[in-house]
Structure formats: C-alpha cells, structure tokens
Chain A
Amino acid sequence: MKTVAGLLLLVAAALIQVTWASQLVVAGVFANLVLIAVIGLTWTQGVGAGLLWACAGGILLDLNAPGPLGPHSLALLAGAYATGFWARNLDRESPFHPAAAVAMSTILYSLVLIGTDDALGLPIPPFRTALQLTFAACLYNAVLMPPALTALRRVTGSLHWEQTAS
C-alpha cells in the first residue's frame, strides 16, 4: 500500500511537472515537484525510503528529458541523502528546516545533474546561466516546500505511515 501510494504520488508529481508546472515560470524556472516530493518523503519517512523514492522519481524525470536514463536519479539521490542528515538531528516540525533542506537539495541536484551530463559528454548550460537558474529554483522550491510538506503529512498520516529516524 505504501509503495503504491508513493509511486502514485511521484507519477502525479512528475506528470504535473512536465505538463502544467511550466505554465508558472518565475525568473526562468518552474517548480521541481518531484524534488519537493522526494525531499518531503525523506523528511517524513527517513533517508532509507527517500533514497529509493529518489531513484524512482529520477527515472520518471529522465523519461521526459533528453539524454540517458539515470542523471536525474543521481541528482535526486544526492538531495535525499543530504536531507537525511539534516532531518535526523533537527526539529522535524519546523517549517524552516524543510524549506532550507529543499533549497540545499536544489543546489546539490543542479550540481550533480550538470556534473553527470558533463561527465557523460552531454551538453551543459553556461556557468552563469546555470547559477542564475539554480538560485531561482532554490527560492521557488523553498517557498513551495512548507505547504507541500503539510499536504504530504496529511496524506501519510491518513495512511498511517510511520516516521522513522533512519
């Protein structure tokens, strides 16, 4: 049940991200709903589950992106892993920490995505453009994270998902 619900959540996030989210472009970026969902799942379910959801979410994004399958999963894995450290030792109820965690994860996500593309010989955006887009995406995702986490907690609460520390 947990797996099905998680998969449905990620599929919905990925489909909305690649169809509707681009209608709300701010400063050249739009919401990375899969990253927000993965960080939210890591925050509520623990890093172990978050890493698996990161792989699944990444593959879904890779299916909609040019190039090989895998780079988005790697990028999301880095974000989920770092968030796991953050969530372990901090107040999970505070809205500030998840927002900051998703901002940091966005930076890691961008770095790993561009780094992987570069390593695989795929074209990468110019440094200044990448910096500008990453900064804007950090703010955008951070603003969306607290309400998204609240919604996710309601869903996971109604499904009786347990919160774990690891």
Chain B
Amino acid sequence: METRARPRSTGRFLVLAAAMLGVAVLSQQSWAAGFRGTAKSALTPVEAQMMSLAATVERATAIFGDIASLRDQNQKLTAENQDLKRRLAELDAAAYDNNELRQALNFQRSFGHKTVVTQVVGRGPDAFSRTLQIDRGSDDGVQAGMIVVSGAGLVGRVRETGPHGAIVQTLADPQSRANVFLSGSGLQGTVIGGPGALQVQIQHRVGAAPAKGEWAITSGIGGGYPRGLVVGVVVNVTHSDAATVDAALVDWVNNPATLSLVIVVTDFLPS
C-alpha cells in the first residue's frame, strides 16, 4: 500500500506542478493580461465587503466606554498631525527647490493633479510582495504605472489593473525603489522597501551630511515619481567614510496595514 502510494503521489505532484508552471507561463503572456486582470477583479467585491465588515466589527467593539470617541479624536489628531507634517515638509522642500526648475519639470504640486479616490479592499498574500488591492481599475481610468498617494504622502505605484480593481505595489515592498532628496541637506538618495522601516542609500556630497529629522521627498530623478511627494522622516543615519553612500532609515508616513483609502494620480505616468 505504502510503496504504491508514494509513486502515485509523486506522479500526481509532478503532473500538477507541470500544469501550474504551464499556467504561470501562459498567464504571464501579454495576450493573457486581460483575462488575468478580469480574474483578479473577481474577488474585489467580496474583499470590499469583508473590509467593511471588519470596520463595522471594529466600530461595534469600540462602542463600550470612551474608546470609540477617544479613537476618533486620536485619528483626527493623527490625520491633522500628518497633514501638518506634510505641509511642513513641503515648505522645507519649497525652500530648497528652484521654482524655475520645477516649472521646467512641468510638475504641478499636490492638488494640481487629476486623481481617483479608491478604497483598499485587500493586501498581498505574503510578505514578499507588499501590495494593496484597490477597488478601481481600468474602467475608471486607472493604468499600470500610475502613482498612488494618501493624504500623508507617497504610497506606491499601480502594478496591474483589471476592469474593476488594481494591485498597488507599496513602498514597503522589498522590490520598491524611489529616488528622493532630503529636505534639510538636499542630499540625494534612493529609498528601498523592506519589512521594517524604509532604507535610504544617500550619496555623499562634500560639506553636507544627512541628519535625523530631515524629510525624504521624491526628487523626480529618473522619472519614476513626480517631484515633491513626501515619503517619510529620517530616523537613523549610519555614516561611513569608507563607503560611497550613507545608510539611513526612514519612518514612512503611511502604514500599509491601516490604509483604507488611497488616491491614484491619473495624469502622471513614469517616463
């Protein structure tokens, strides 16, 4: 019995593995993108219901005592605080920026962009890809490559779209990269996603050093993201004379686990 079962399960494993590999190769083809997007949109309504159910449960359980009102107040204050921080960072950036250069880059700050507000209905299935699922897709004008922001700052980029949903790769994704500058020193660097705080590799420049408390703001270099979006605040800097770059940790202004609404910037696509 045992000796027969083993080759049978091995055979089944090999057949299924080959079939799944075939599905992976086929569904990766460009002609299958439409079907893949439609299939991925299929679960979006159910996920949206689950997220709203979770929010309802959270509200219901917080109804006892003053927890709910305190939480509301805390959320409002946190949102106000984030907004103030963002404005402060933007003012810092504005002081550093050259207006003419900005005009040349043809970048309209914050509210000059066309946007679509979407609800977060799901998150990536594992920690290797920190993604969000949103409830707007190609039917709403959302395209792969578009930038996603929140009231606090940069969230990430749309990676795939279906008719009624899309997958957003967040900055916390280990594969994410964004070019930034620091609001105080003006040093340039690259933010790299990761499971904890975001990491930044900052290029050395004579006479300037990165410092804690500086804001990391997208530089627009490389054309991946528009200039001026707040990424986070520098919380730790590791300087090494021997290295060509300094390493720093950035406390991201967004928390992907708690984001419920995000904004897709529909009039900017990476160059």
Q: Measuring CB to CB, which residues of chain A are less than 8 angstroms from any residue of chain B?
A: 14-20, 22-23, 25, 27-30, 32, 34, 47-48, 51-52, 54-55, 58, 60-61, 63-74, 77-78, 81, 84, 88, 110, 113-114, 116, 120, 123-126, 129-130, 132-133, 136-137, 165-166
Contacts and interface: CB of A to CB of B under 8 A. Distances in A.
Contacts of B24: 68-71, 74, 116, 120
Contact of B127 (A77, A88, A133): A133
Interface in B1-28: 1-2, 4-6, 8-10, 12-13, 16-17, 19-28
Nearest to B172: A28
B267 to A, nearest CB: 23
Given A63-B43, A67-B28, A18 B175 contact: no
B51 interface: yes
B174 A125 contact: yes
A70 B50 contact: no
Interface centre among B19, B42, B122, by most A CB within 10 Å?
A: B122
B23 A70 contact: yes
B50 A19 contact: yes
**Which label, helix, strand, loop or mixed, suits the secondary structure of the A interface?**
helix
Contact of B128 (A47, A84, A110, A120): A110
A15 B50 contact: yes
Contact of B9 (A25, A48, A78): A48
Contacts of A73: 16, 20, 23
Contacts of B34: none
Contacts of A58: 20
A120 B129 contact: no
Given A18-B123, A133-B128, A55 B50 contact: no
A51 B16 contact: yes
B122 A18 contact: yes
Interface residues of B, number: 54
Contacts, number: 166
Interface of B: 1-2, 4-6, 8-10, 12-13, 16-17, 19-28, 36, 39-40, 42-43, 46-47, 50-51, 54, 121-129, 131, 133, 159-160, 167, 169, 174-175, 194-196, 256-257
Contacts of B50: 15-16, 19-20
Nearest to A110: B128
B194 A48 contact: no
Nearest to B48: A19
A113 B25 contact: no
Contacts of A14: 125
B28 A120 contact: yes
Contacts of A51: 9, 12-13, 16
Contacts of A55: 16, 19-20
B20 A65 contact: no
Nearest to B46: A15
Given A51-B13, A73-B20, A125 B128 contact: yes
A32 B123 CA distance: 12
Nearest to A21: B123
B8 A166 contact: yes
A47 B258 CA distance: 38
Contacts of A69: 23-24, 27, 36, 39
B195 A28 contact: yes
A154 B24 CA distance: 35
Contacts of A18: 47, 122-125, 133
Nearest to B12: A51
Contact of A66 (B5, B26, B169): B169
